[in-house]
Structure 1
């Protein structure tokens, strides 16, 4: 019976490539189904064998821990340089941020309008 190892929907290409390289390097017998364009099927990495599934899950868990710490470190470096967060978005794209704030205000206003008219 097939074992689904990982969903590929919203997975960055570099992460999927790293996982393919990991499985090839560790000689995991896997196959891949791509996510559909319309979002109906999720796609993913699969194996057939129970033992192979357990080994692949352990490899994936180790990879995910390593990637998470790497991504957190990169995020902290970007924050320290002032390249991340709302402040940097406001400096880089002031009109986009202003439009988003106005849109958010309109949505909140329209949502609350029935309750404000009750009183």
Structure 2
């Protein structure tokens, strides 16, 4: 019976490709499903052989630990060079977009909270 091994929803293409390559290198039998046009399906990598589950899970866990370390190192490097993305940098580089997003957030909060404030007052 097929076993869900790795969700592909919101996973960057590079990461998905690295996971596919890792599983192929270790001869782990998998297949993929897509979410479909309307996004109703499950985009994932599935394991064909249940006996390979522990090996596959260990490989993916090790890969994700390594990826996390790599991303943290990259973020630390950007911060050390003063290039890490911050709210002020985004505001400086894209002031109109940042302000419109802030207004959108304020509008959503207002629409969400006003009914409760009217009930209380």
Equivalent position of 1:92 in the other structure: 93
Q: Structure 1 residue 31 and structure 2 residue 40: aligned? A: no
Unaligned stretches of 5+ residues in structure 1: none
User: How many equivalent residue pairs?
Assistant: 119
Moved more, 27-36 or 63-72: 27-36
TM-score by length of 1: 0.86
Q: TM-score, normalised by structure 2?
A: 0.85
SS of the equivalent of 2:109 reads: helix
Does the Cα contact within 8 Å between 2:6 and 2:46 map onto a contact in 1?
yes
Residues 118 and 48 of structure 1, relative CA distance in 2, 3 Å threshold = closer
Structure 2 regions of 5+ residues with no counterpart?
A: none
Secondary structure of 1:95's counterpart equals helix
**Root-mean-square deviation (CA), in Å?**
1.8
Contact 1:8/1:43 (CA < 8 Å) preserved in 2? yes
